[in-house]
Structure 1
Amino acid sequence: MMKTLVRLVVGLLVLEAVAANPRFSRQADLDSYDDGNYDVDDVNSENQEYDYEDGPTIEDPEIEIGTLAPPDYNYPMPEASLEEQEEEEEELPIKPQLIPQGSGGSGVLMGPDTQKGMPTCLLCTCLGGSVYCDDLKLDSVPPLPKDTTHFYARYNRITKINKSDFASMNKLKRIDLTANAISSIESRAFMGLPELEELVIRENHISQMPVLPETMTLIDASHNNIESKGIPKEAFKDMTGLLYLYLTDNEIDYIPVPLPDSLRSLHLQRNNIQSMHEDTFCNLHDFNYIRNALEDIRLDGNPVNLSRTPQAYVCLPRIPVGDLI
């Protein structure tokens, strides 16, 4: 009887403690469970009524829900329509234009072929209308594109200029063959060049001046073996636009007159000129004649004595450079 009363008192105390503290209630239940006086199902049903602040002691694994990447498929491309296929067939590849052939060549993409089996513009350097073939050990003039305006072949081994070298070169304005081994120029080799203005053939072995067109403005044949008999008669008379005539370091023994009124510079240094006539530069029949353009005459290095012919310079703006004694 006493035990029963004690148990009732303890039960009331437990109920009060549970009402005040849920954790204690759970602990009391567990203690009671240890004593074997409470049913497990009753304890679980009571605990489900309380909301624990600490949450569950064992965390459940989180499951992520996503979408799987679609498999790679090689979708067939739609076939081109009949009209599109016809357009593709019509779009043919662009063919490069051939450079017009020059003298002695058949005409290829990079200019006519040379004797060495390669195009001129591959062997030389072509920039616009200018062709540069300097210092390439050439022994002849290479075939040039027809649109060449300026040709340079300095410091080579060219020995001869043939008439065919510049045939049909209607746009060629300047030829520079400085420092070759040229000893022969075929007759009228330059006469088929209607636009030729400048010819430089200095530092060669030329003994005969070539016949040149009347369009010349500059002629430089210095440092050669030219004698007076190697200059055609009245070679420069009709060159009404000639400005510069350079015949330095040759074997000329007289001034190649008549000279055009357009001439500005005449260089005859280190030749064999021994005398000069009073009408070499001036007109003895017209004392009012003034030759204003010819300001630069070089006769130094010749055996001529300029003081012996003072009347030869009265029409000039300046006295020639040379020996006055």
Structure 2
Amino acid sequence: MRMLMRLVLGLFVLKAVVASPRFSRQADLDSYDGANYDVDLDNLNLENPDIYDYEDGLTIDDPLIEIGTLAPPDYNYPVPEASLEEQTEEEEEEELPLTPQLIPQGSGGSGVLMGPDTQKGMPTCLLCTCLGGSVYCDDLKLDSVPPLPKDTTHFYARYNRITKINKSDFASMNKLKKIDLTSNEITSIDDTAFMGLPNLEELVIRENHISQLPALPETMTLIDASHNDIGTKGLHREAFKDMTGLLYLYITDNHIDYVPVPLPDSLRSLHLQRNNIQMMHGDTFCNLKDFNYIRNALEDIRLDGNPINLSRTPQAYVCLPRIPIGDLI
């Protein structure tokens, strides 16, 4: 009887061992290579917590530990304070308005840094382009000559809306050599506007509406007043006589009816085409009292587009290296 009980107890222990999870898992691992080891959750008994103890001692009654990724906390990093020097600079920028510094007397009044203020409220050399002694104010819709730096030598204000040249526009500009006012809307020029310029050599006032050529200093080498409204009374008498260095004289597309004599011997090029010149005197270019006189410099004379017949006054060209261009019939 006792042997029978031991046998039954042994069978019960063996059955319990075989039915245990560890044995089953090991048996499955030994029997199936690469099988799917899913847990049967439907038959899982969670009512008795004592049955499901793990080796680490954690039971189902122990609090659950949730594992996840936490968002980083929001940090307000402190902004570094500006240095005392930077704070001072910022305060000065906020409090003090930007004003140009004064420089010595310039044209037409008191000058400021890089040239006096223009009607646009900006210094001339911020509005225009200044390179050395040259000031370029082309195509800026100017309606008057802006005050210029005192050391300006070349001034360009082409393609603007300037209507008048005043005698104060170029006052005290002792270094100014060239003025180019091509294609503006100039109708009048003060007769003394350029007389106070001791170094002026070139004046270009073409493509305007000028009816009177102003007086010019004797230092001129180039004058271009083409495409204007200059008529018979628009030139001073003997206007170019004393310009001993004059090389180029262009008065094309105007309304003059005579060659503006006397012309200096230095003259190389004379353009008078498309005017109203109808006649010429024998001594216009030559000296009829001195037949040995040769005018070698004057090689370029344009009279085409005038109602004059050049063949009627052949004695007027005997001293010239070339016959003028124009109508010979």
Pair in the same fold by TM > 0.5: yes
Deviation per residue, 1:52-107 (Å, 9 max, x gap): xxxxxxxxxxxxxxxxxxxxxxxxxxxxxxxxxxxxxxxxxxxx985434223432
Deviation at 1:113, TM superposition (A): 1.2
Which of 162, 169, 179 is matched with 1:165 structurally? 169
Which of 180, 184, 189 is matched with 2:193 structurally? 189
Tell me the distance in 1 between the aligned counterparts of 2:231 and 2:261.
14
Deviation at 1:108, TM superposition (A): 2.0
* Structure 2 residue 179 is matched with structure 1 residue 178: no
Deviation at 1:268, TM superposition (A): 0.3
Deviation at 1:168, TM superposition (A): 0.3
Deviation per residue, 1:11-46 (Å, 9 max, x gap): xxxxxxxxxxxxxxxxxxxxxxxxxxxxxxxxxxxx
Contact 2:101 2:112 in 1 (8 A): no
Partner of 1:126: 130
* Structure 2 residue 317 is matched with structure 1 residue 316: no
Tell me the distance in 1 between the aligned counterparts of 2:205 and 2:223.
8
Partner of 2:243: 239
Partner of 2:258: 254
Q: For residue 111 of structure 2, give the secondary structure of its aligned residue in structure 1.
A: coil
* Structure 2 residue 281 is matched with structure 1 residue 274: no
Deviation at 1:223, TM superposition (A): 0.2
Letter in structure 2 aligned against 1:248: T
Letter in structure 2 aligned against 1:273: I
Tell me the distance in 1 between the aligned counterparts of 2:325 and 2:101.
55
Tell me the distance in 1 between the aligned counterparts of 2:134 and 2:288.
45
Tell me the distance in 2 between the aligned counterparts of 1:224 and 1:122.
31
Letter in structure 1 aligned against 2:200: L
Tell me the distance in 2 between the aligned counterparts of 1:324 and 1:236.
27
Contact 1:101 1:111 in 2 (8 A): no
Tell me the distance in 2 between the aligned counterparts of 1:209 and 1:318.
28
Contact 1:202 1:224 in 2 (8 A): yes
Partner of 2:104: 100
Letter in structure 2 aligned against 1:145: P
Which of 202, 205, 222 is matched with 2:209 structurally? 205
- 1:286-325 to 2 correspondence within 5 Å? 286-325=290-329
Tell me the distance in 2 between the aligned counterparts of 1:115 and 1:172.
22
Contact 2:133 2:154 in 1 (8 A): yes
Deviation per residue, 1:204-235 (Å, 9 max, x gap): 00000100000000000000000121100000
Q: For residue 312 of structure 1, give the secondary structure of its aligned residue in structure 2.
A: helix
TM-score by length of 1: 0.69
Q: For residue 166 of structure 1, give the secondary structure of its aligned residue in structure 2.
A: coil
Larger Rg computed on CA atoms: 1
Contact 1:254 1:276 in 2 (8 A): yes
Contact 1:105 1:114 in 2 (8 A): no
Tell me the distance in 1 between the aligned counterparts of 2:103 and 2:275.
45
Runs of 4 or more above 4 Å deviation: 96-99
Deviation at 1:305, TM superposition (A): 0.1
Deviation at 1:177, TM superposition (A): 0.2
Tell me the distance in 2 between the aligned counterparts of 1:111 and 1:229.
37
- 1:119-158 to 2 correspondence within 5 Å? 119-158=123-162
Partner of 1:32: none
Which of 222, 225, 247 is matched with 1:218 structurally? 222
Q: Percent identity?
A: 90
Partner of 1:116: 120
Tell me the distance in 2 between the aligned counterparts of 1:239 and 1:106.
33
TM-score by length of 2: 0.69
Contact 2:128 2:137 in 1 (8 A): yes
Deviation at 1:118, TM superposition (A): 1.0
- 1:77-96 to 2 correspondence within 5 Å? none
Q: For residue 245 of structure 1, give the secondary structure of its aligned residue in structure 2.
A: strand
Deviation at 1:114, TM superposition (A): 1.2
Q: For residue 125 of structure 2, give the secondary structure of its aligned residue in structure 1.
A: helix
Which of 280, 285, 288 is matched with 1:284 structurally? 288
Contact 2:219 2:245 in 1 (8 A): yes
Alpha-carbon RMSD? 1.2
Tell me the distance in 1 between the aligned counterparts of 2:111 and 2:251.
37
